[in-house]
DNA sequence: AACCAGGACGTGA
DNA sequence: TCACGTCATGGT
């Protein structure tokens, strides 16, 4: 078992299945989600809104979009910028994110039911590597690994990377060590977030990180 | 009262 | 490429 598989095994033992994506109307463990275009779009919107923002603030914005029947690409392209910005205010960066949602909505309509493409996503204003991979993995069920700041922080503390590596390098590290499996990738990223929220959000990091503590010692249980 | 949250973009060097 | 500055609300 390689290091990346070893970390996954420990995270799974500690936290069990996470069942992402955590959409407001999503029942954890339902791996058939998203089953509809609306649900896919909702995940994409969430992926954009959660950029450098807590999910709690994003959830308020999504519920607000639903409240006014705006959670559809046609609606987000019709609505006035200032109005949209106000509706998603709780998610922060509302001017930028309103624009990002409009740009993405156009792309989503262009797809017309087809699956999204990583190169195309990265060309959209407002979609960087993490957002693109989140959209591909959780909305379109493509086996692409999501790397976020928590992931970098965890691997850095475990000594697997120095910390300055590029996004695609870290993504490739995970994908080269794991079988190409959508649910595995979905659960792994979710587990990292769950673990990092507990042990890698406030400094000093990793005080009670069991993975870190047991990293160089062998377990018999 | 600073600090952080599941980033991405623009700019000057 | 690299290193910052900017965007902004809400919880601790």
Rounded CA-CA distance A170/A129 in Å is 12
C1' nearest to CA of A167: which nucleotide? Answer: B7
Highest mean pLDDT among A15-19, A23-27, A186-190, A211-215: A186-190
Nucleotides of B under 7 A from a protein CB: 4-10
Proximity of residue A215 CB to strand C below 7 A: no
- The candidate with the shortest Cα–Cα distance to A18, out of A161, A197, A202, is A197
Q: Is the CB of A13 under 7 A from strand C?
A: no
Confidence (pLDDT) at A160: 96
Q: Is A5 exposed, middle or buried (0-12, 13-18, 19+ CB in 10 A)?
A: middle
Q: Nearest-CA neighbor of A107 among A94, A85, A124, A119?
A: A124
Give tens-digit pLDDT for A110-162: 999 999 999 999 999 999 999 999 999 999 999 999 999 999 999 999 999 99
Q: How far apart are CA A49 and CA A34, in angstroms?
A: 18
pLDDT at A215: 62
Q: pTM above the 0.85 mark?
A: yes
Q: What is the pLDDT of residue A29?
A: 74
Question: A12-57 pLDDT, tens per residue?
Answer: 999 999 999 988 777 777 777 898 999 999 999 999 999 999 999 9
Say how far A166 CA is from C2 C1', in Å: 12
Q: CA A126 – C1' B4 distance (Å)?
A: 22
CB A43 within 8 A of CB A33: no
Taking the C1' atom of every nucleotide in all shown strands and the CA of A89, the nearest one is C9
């Amino acid at each position: 078992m390689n290091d990346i598989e070893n970390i996954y095994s420990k995270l799974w033992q500690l936290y069990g299945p996470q069942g992402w994506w955590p959409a407001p109307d999503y029942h954890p463990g339902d791996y058939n989600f998203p089953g509809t275009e609306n649900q896919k779009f909702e995940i994409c919107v969430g992926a954009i809104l959660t950029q450098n923002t807590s999910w709690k603030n994003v959830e308020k914005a999504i519920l607000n979009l639903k409240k006014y029947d705006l959670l559809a690409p046609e609606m987000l392209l019709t609505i006035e910028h200032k109005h949209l910005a106000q509706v998603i205010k709780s998610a922060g960066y509302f001017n930028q994110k309103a624009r990002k949602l409009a740009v993405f909505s156009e792309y989503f309509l262009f797809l017309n039911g087809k699956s999204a493409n990583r190169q195309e996503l990265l060309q959209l204003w407002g979609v960087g590597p993490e957002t693109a991979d989140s959209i591909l993995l959780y909305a379109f069920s493509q086996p692409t690994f999501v790397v976020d700041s928590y992931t970098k922080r965890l691997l850095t503390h475990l000594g697997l990377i120095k910390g300055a590596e590029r996004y695609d390098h870290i993504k490739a590290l995970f994908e080269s060590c794991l079988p190409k499996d959508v649910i595995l990738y979905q659960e792994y990223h979710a587990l990292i977030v769950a673990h990092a929220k507990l042990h890698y959000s406030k400094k000093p990091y990793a005080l009670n990180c069991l993975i870190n503590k047991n990293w160089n010692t062998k377990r018999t249980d």
